[in-house]
């Protein structure tokens, strides 16, 4: 079975500071991992995905994530936060022959000017 845990339902950072959003997964088979961003009253937009190639994955808007098998983690980072990064971020896992994505409960990012 697969599952995702996102530590910290709310994260606040100052503009220009490092963004770190945590995601830990559970999977009995090699996983595919995704980060999505959701702006208010909108759908989910793909930020980046890991599909067993390079462990450091670069996405859009300056975000990147590193797959660490030993830690079962896929944390999302951005060196310098921008006001436009304020949104809800979801980590998701898909694995094996399953047909669905398993989503974490989300992390709401606030950027303080």
Partner 1 sequence: NAGVMQNPRHLVRRRGQEARLRCSPMKGHSHVYWYRQLPEEGLKFMVYLQKENIIDESGMPKERFSAEFPKEGPSILRIQQVVRGDSAAYFCASSPRWAQETQYFGPGTRLLVL
Contact residues toward partner 1 (CB under 8 A) are 32, 34, 36, 41-46, 49, 51, 90, 94-95, 98-106
Task: State the nearest-atom distance from the C-beta of 85 to partner 1, in Å.
Answer: 19
Nearer to partner 1, 97 or 113 (CB): 97
C-alpha 94: how far from chain center: 13
Task: State the nearest-atom distance from the C-beta of 91 to partner 1, in Å.
Answer: 9
Nearer to partner 1, 17 or 38 (CB): 38
81 within 8 A of 14, measured Cβ to Cβ: yes
Nearer to partner 1, 17 or 64 (CB): 64
Q: List the structure tokens of 24.
A: 């830990």
Q: Is 99 exposed, middle or buried (0-12, 13-18, 19+ CB in 10 A)?
A: exposed
- Cα 94 to Cα 28: distance, rounded to the nearest angstrom: 11
């Amino acid at each position: 079975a697969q599952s995702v845990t996102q530590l910290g339902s709310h994260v606040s950072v100052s503009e220009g500071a490092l963004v770190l959003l945590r995601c830990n997964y559970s999977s009995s088979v090699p996983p595919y991992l995704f980060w999505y961003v959701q702006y208010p009253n909108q759908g989910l937009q793909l930020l980046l995905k890991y599909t067993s190639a390079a462990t450091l994955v670069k996405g859009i808007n300056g975000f990147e994530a590193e797959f660490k098998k030993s830690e079962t983690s896929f944390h999302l980072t951005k060196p310098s936060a921008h006001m436009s990064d304020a949104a809800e971020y979801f980590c998701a896992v898909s694995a094996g022959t399953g047909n669905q994505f398993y989503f974490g409960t989300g992390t709401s990012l606030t950027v303080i000017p």
